[in-house]
Amino acid sequence: QVQLVESGGGLVQPGGSLTLSCAASGSIVSINSMAWYRQAPGKERDLVAHIANDGTTNYAGSLKGRFTISSDKAKKTVYLQMNSLKPEDTAVYYCKMAVTLTYYDSQFWGRGTLVTVSS
């Protein structure tokens, strides 16, 4: 059984910063890619940032330059550094990992962590 647990969300003022973490546990042979998504109230879940196995990153166009995704494969953890936060960044942030298990590949989601940007 694989579990992803996000942490680091909370209330932050506009212009502030937060770093989210997502740690995986379970019988993972390898992690092939990691990503962060977010879902604002009443909206669909959208990709925020993605990091491939070779370290290649890509971001939603409007977020590049403010958000940075990174990972620590040894710790099975992905991070999202968020700077210059705006009220429109308020959302539940989810991590997703594509992994190789003993006999097959699969994808898993975390339960999400709430980020609220407000004064």
User: What percent of the chain clears pLDDT 90, i.e. is strictly above it?
Assistant: 97
* pLDDT, position 61: 84
* pLDDT, position 112: 97
Please give the mean pLDDT across all residues of the chain. Answer: 96
Question: What is the token pair recorded at 46?
Answer: 């959208």
In the predicted structure, residue 14 carries a pLDDT above the cut 90 = yes
Query: pLDDT tens for residues 28-57?
Result: 999 999 999 999 999 999 999 999 999 999
Q: Which single residue is written with the structure tokens 């694989």?
A: 2
- pLDDT category at 62 given cuts 50, 70, 90 is confident
